[in-house]
Amino acid sequence: MMKLSDEEYIEDLTIENGDFHDYSNREFLGCTFKGIQFSENQIKSSKFIECKFKNCNFKNPQLTGCSFREVDFFDSKLVGLHWAQATSVSSLSFNSCHIEFCVFDNLKLSGLKLIDSNCRNSEFTQNDLRKSSFQGSHLRDSQFTKCDLRDSNFTNTSHLYIDLESNQVKGIQLDMTGALSLVEQLGIKVQL
């Protein structure tokens, strides 16, 4: 097991499952995390800047006092995260991730990338999501409420539901399936 002793600032390190267990009250810059299981208070009051998480599992961690800036998640599972608890969240990217019961409220996430991911039962409320991409993602039972979705890409998504009255949607990109889904939400029946 790797000993970080009293190191509060860790830079350009690859940390693999089992290396160490206390990630709280630290600043990680340019680090890569592989196969780590994060839960409860393990990351409290930590900063993750320009970090990558690969095949990691986040189950109900407390994000109080955390910062996530320019962070990429790959093949990771994120369950029960309340992103608004974090002090700072910007430039997030999720690739081939499983996201469930997560809450994204009142955040400026312009340019968010949620690509080829399974995002279930999650809430996006009052977020700035301009120019974001949800390409290829499954959005079953996820809700967008009072969000700015202008110029966002929803091509090849499934189970898309966007309340057209409460969200700003000018310029969003949809494929035919997504467009039909939104039209049907308005009570319009389309016959092909």
The pTM of the full predicted model, rounded to 2 decimals, is: 0.92
pLDDT band at 20 (very low <50, low <70, confident <90, very high): low
Q: Are 138 and 161 in contact (CB under 8 A)?
A: no
Q: What is the mean pLDDT of residues 16-39?
A: 86
d(CA 33, CA 172): 33
Order of strands, sheet of 143-145, starting from the edge strand that comes earlier in the sequence: 103-105, 123-125, 143-145
Sorted by where each starts, the structural domains of the chain and their CATH numbers stand as: 7-17+24-72+87-93 (no CATH), 99-186 (2.160.20.80)
Alpha helices for the chain (secondary structure H): 176-185
109-147: pLDDT as tens digits: 999 999 999 999 999 999 999 999 999 999 999 999 999
Q: How far is CA 91 from the centre of its chain?
A: 10
